[in-house]
Each structure stands twice: as structure tokens, then as C-alpha cells.
């Protein structure tokens, strides 16, 4: 089978023939139709993340091994099943849950495999979807899609939309809350759709780009703030009767955005940090207890969250946005375009 692999960080992905795996036991071999291109693929490609100033957090220190086939947003067709795999038949259309754990830690035991101590995620620790086929360790990680569901849009449910959903859930929004969504890219827009459909909160989108803010409005934001053109703190205060934000979901999560977020938090506010931009933050420690802030890290979502999302997508309650399509040998180009901010919505590779 043909796969696009990161052989060495920062070098172009190699597209080459590798042996097609065989499904054994509970494993299922999926013929990949769509594999989303995610920001975290860029970090795998670059070999790490920005830590506090001057520090680079290497992916290999987290257990990532190269060569690696990236791609964790995978939708496709069941090709073959191991002898113990049940509940699925050949040719069925499925979505793959990629946030797989080792199964035995407290997180895995309580249904939060995405937060496993020893993660085995597809496309991060195991070979993923930038490939003609992907081997899924168990049928339990598959969710059936309706025949009429588009695999490109559905693929984004397993990371982009799932991360947005996890973040919205972590913000525990109430109808009387004002929530600021920082960053109106693919994840931000999905979070706006979800917050609109599920919470009743007033949604204020913040970004530097007017085009993205227009998209935010079209996806359900009540108000928008261009933080390049206006003072974001003043603008939030004006839109919240001078009270500040009850919740902020920061899909950028850079030093600069979070420093600003901290200035418009209302008492009891939740700051949900999602983006992997990185950097560091200076905190006034006394304000954390006296103003009872809650700082929350949010990473992807659970298998049960993804099951809920598929249901919302089936009924058209949310509409995942796919903007660019690529062939397998354009994998490097797809990652480059994403890095340069040229993909509005989501890019998908069709092997």
C-alpha cells in the first residue's frame, strides 16, 4: 500500500509502498477514504512544540518514533476483519476513534482513553491515515457512518470537532454565560456551532482576521471582536455589561492571547486552554483564589463524546467545514499550507 511518512522531522514526507498490514484478533483493516490534516501533524513533522522561552518539547521525548505515518482523522471503508472482530462487515462506512490508550490506567478505566498515561494514538504513536489503509487495533474504536454521510466532513469529527466539543463541555456553559471563543479557525468555528446548538450562552468570537470573524458570525457567533483593530479587553467589557467573560475557550493558547484572556475574566470564570501554540504565562497568584478562576486544559475528547458528535452530524445539527482536498503525494504541500494559515476550515487528504 502507498503511505506518506515522516521519515525525519522537518524533511518532506516520503510517499512510498509499504506492506499492507493484515487484521488479526480484534483488529480491523480500513481502506482510508479521508484523512484530515491537523495542526498537531505539523508538530509531529517539526519534531516538537514550543515550551517556555527557549525550550523545545521534543516529540521523541514523548515516545513518538519515526518513520511515522501521520493522520488521526480517519474515515473509510471496512476492508477486512480479524477473527475476533464483531459488529462490522466488509464495505461498511466507518469513522475511526484515534485516541487509543493502553487500556489499564485510571483514565482508560474511566472512559478517558484520550488522557491515557501511555497513549497509543493512531497517527501519533501508531501509523495513521496518510495511507491507503490503516490498521485499527480493535473494532471497538469504530463508529458506523450512514451511507450518505460524506467521509471528508465526517473525518474531522474525530479530532477537530471532538476537540471543540471537549472544550465546550469543559467550559460547562450556562444560558446566562458570556463565552469568548479565541481563534475562529476550524476548531473555533466548530466550537461556535456546538455552543450555539447546545448551551444557549452568548457567544463572542475573537480573531485578528475579518474574514474568519465573518465566518464566525455565519456559524452562530452573537458578536465578534477583531483584537488587531480594537482593544480586546475594552470590547469584551462593553459586550458583557462591564462584567467580563464567564468563560473563555482559547484555541490559540499563546502567551499573548492568554495574557489578554486573563484581563477580561469575570469572577468564577473558566479559562479553557486548547491551542498548542505554546509559550509561557505570568500569573498573579492571589487573583486565582480571590477571584476563583478555573484554569482548565482540554485535550481532544472521549469515545463517548465522539459517538454524540456523530449523532449531531447525522442530523445536521453541526456541519463540519472542509475547505481543501489533497492527494496522498501532496501531503507535504497540505502541511505547508496549513502552517502558513492558507487553509480556512479543514484540509483533507484522499489517499
- Cβ closest to Zn ion, residue 116 vs residue 161: 116
Residue of the chain from 29, 68, 96, 116 that contacts Zn ion (CB under 5 A): 116
* Distance from C-alpha of 277 to C-alpha of 295, rounded to nearest angstrom: 17
Using CB under 5 A, which of the segments 77-85, 108-116, 312-320, 331-339 binds Zn ion?
Answer: 108-116
Which uninterrupted H or E stretch holds 273? strand 265-273
DSSP 8-state assignment for residue 254: B
Cα separations (Å) of 307 from 120, 173, 228, 325?
20, 21, 38, 25
Cβ(275)–Cβ(298) under 8 Å?
no
Q: Decide: is 108 part of the binding site for Zn ion (CB under 5 A).
A: yes
Nearest distance from C-beta of residue 120 to Zn ion, angstroms: 9
- Going by C-alpha positions, the residue among 202, 252, 247, 246 that lies closest to residue 227 is 252
* Distance from C-alpha of 29 to C-alpha of 92, rounded to nearest angstrom: 12
Nearest distance from C-beta of residue 271 to Zn ion, angstroms: 21
- Cβ closest to Zn ion, residue 126 vs residue 225: 126
Nearest distance from C-beta of residue 163 to Zn ion, angstroms: 7
- Going by C-alpha positions, the residue among 55, 60, 10, 61 that lies closest to residue 279 is 55
Q: Decide: is 334 part of the binding site for Zn ion (CB under 5 A).
A: no
- Cβ closest to Zn ion, residue 113 vs residue 177: 113
Using CB under 5 A, which of the segments 17-25, 30-38, 177-185, 234-242 binds Zn ion?
Answer: 30-38
Residue with cell 513533522: 45
- Cβ closest to Zn ion, residue 159 vs residue 252: 159
Using CB under 5 A, which of the segments 106-114, 259-267, 311-319, 339-347 binds Zn ion?
Answer: 106-114
Nearest distance from C-beta of residue 103 to Zn ion, angstroms: 6
Handedness of CA 218, 159, 93, 2 (dihedral sign): positive
Q: How many residues bind Zn ion (CB under 5 A)?
A: 8
Nearest distance from C-beta of residue 276 to Zn ion, angstroms: 9
- Going by C-alpha positions, the residue among 88, 101, 187, 63 that lies closest to residue 142 is 88
Strand 133-136 relative to strand 202-207, pairing: unpaired
- Cβ closest to Zn ion, residue 103 vs residue 200: 103
First to last CA, the chain: 10
Nearest distance from C-beta of residue 126 to Zn ion, angstroms: 14
* Distance from C-alpha of 23 to C-alpha of 133, rounded to nearest angstrom: 11
* Distance from C-alpha of 156 to C-alpha of 34, rounded to nearest angstrom: 9
Q: Decide: is 38 part of the binding site for Zn ion (CB under 5 A).
A: yes
Cβ(148)–Cβ(128) under 8 Å?
no
Residue of the chain from 18, 42, 77, 105 that contacts Zn ion (CB under 5 A): 105
Q: Decide: is 101 part of the binding site for Zn ion (CB under 5 A).
A: yes
DSSP string, 80-116: EE-TT--S--TT-EEEE------S-SHHHHTT-GGG-
- Cβ closest to Zn ion, residue 42 vs residue 317: 42
> Which residues, numbered 137-176, are part of the site for Zn ion (CB under 5 A)?
159
Nearest distance from C-beta of residue 222 to Zn ion, angstroms: 28
- Cβ closest to Zn ion, residue 96 vs residue 265: 96
* Distance from C-alpha of 168 to C-alpha of 251, rounded to nearest angstrom: 11
Nearest distance from C-beta of residue 39 to Zn ion, angstroms: 7
Nearest distance from C-beta of residue 66 to Zn ion, angstroms: 18
- Cβ closest to Zn ion, residue 101 vs residue 351: 101
Q: Decide: is 40 part of the binding site for Zn ion (CB under 5 A).
A: yes
- Cβ closest to Zn ion, residue 38 vs residue 85: 38
* Distance from C-alpha of 163 to C-alpha of 290, rounded to nearest angstrom: 30
| Binding residues for Zn ion (CB under 5 A) | 38, 40, 101-102, 105, 108, 116, 159
Amino acid at each position: 500500500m502507498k503511505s506518506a511518512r515522516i521519515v525525519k522531522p522537518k524533511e518532506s514526507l516520503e510517499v512510498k509502498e509499504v506492506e499492507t498490514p493484515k487484521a488479526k484478533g480484534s483488529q480491523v483493516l480500513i481502506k482510508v477514504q479521508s484523512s484530515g490534516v491537523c495542526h498537531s501533524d505539523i508538530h509531529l513533522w517539526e519534531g516538537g512544540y514550543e515550551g517556555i522561552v527557549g525550550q523545545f518539547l521534543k516529540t521523541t521525548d514523548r515516545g513518538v518514533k519515526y518513520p511515522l505515518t501521520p493522520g488521526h482523522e480517519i474515515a473509510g471503508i471496512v476492508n477486512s476483519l480479524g477473527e475476533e472482530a464483531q459488529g462490522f462487515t466488509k464495505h461498511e462506512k466507518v469513522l475511526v476513534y484515534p485516541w487509543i490508550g493502553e487500556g489499564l490506567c485510571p483514565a482508560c478505566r474511566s472512559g478517558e482513553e484520550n488522557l491515557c498515561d501511555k497513549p497509543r494514538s493512531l497517527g501519533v504513536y501508531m501509523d495513521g491515515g496518510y495511507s491507503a489503509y490503516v490498521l485499527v487495533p480493535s473494532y471497538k474504536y469504530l463508529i458506523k457512518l450512514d451511507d450518505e454521510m460524506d467521509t471528508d466532513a465526517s473525518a474531522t469529527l474525530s479530532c477537530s470537532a471532538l476537540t471543540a466539543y471537549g472544550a465546550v463541555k469543559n467550559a460547562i456553559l450556562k444560558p446566562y454565560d458570556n463565552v469568548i471563543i479565541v481563534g475562529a479557525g476550524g476548531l473555533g468555528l466548530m466550537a461556535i456551532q456546538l455552543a450555539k446548538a447546545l448551551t444557549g450562552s452568548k457567544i463572542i468570537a475573537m480573531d485578528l482576521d475579518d474574514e474568519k470573524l465573518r465566518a464566525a458570525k455565519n456559524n452562530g457567533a452573537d458578536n465578534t471582536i477583531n483584537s488587531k483593530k480594537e482593544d480586546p479587553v475594552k470590547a469584551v467589557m462593553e459586550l458583557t455589561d462591564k462584567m467580563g467573560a464567564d468563560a473563555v475557550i482559547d484555541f490559540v493558547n499563546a502567551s499573548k492571547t492568554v495574557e489578554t484572556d486573563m484581563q477580561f475574566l469575570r469572577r468564577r470564570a473558566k479559562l479553557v486552554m486548547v491551542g498548542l501554540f505554546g509559550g509561557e504565562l505570568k500569573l498573579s497568584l492571589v487573583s486565582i483564589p480571590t477571584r476563583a478562576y478555573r484554569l482548565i486544559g482540554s485535550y481532544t475528547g472521549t469515545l463517548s463524546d465522539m459517538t454524540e458528535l456523530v449523532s449531531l452530524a447525522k442530523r445536521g445539527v453541526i456541519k463540519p467545514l472542509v475547505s481543501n482536498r489533497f492527494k496522498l503525494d501532496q501531503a507535504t504541500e497540505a502541511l505547508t499550507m496549513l502552517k502558513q494559515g492558507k487553509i480556512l476550515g479543514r484540509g483533507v487528504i484522499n489517499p
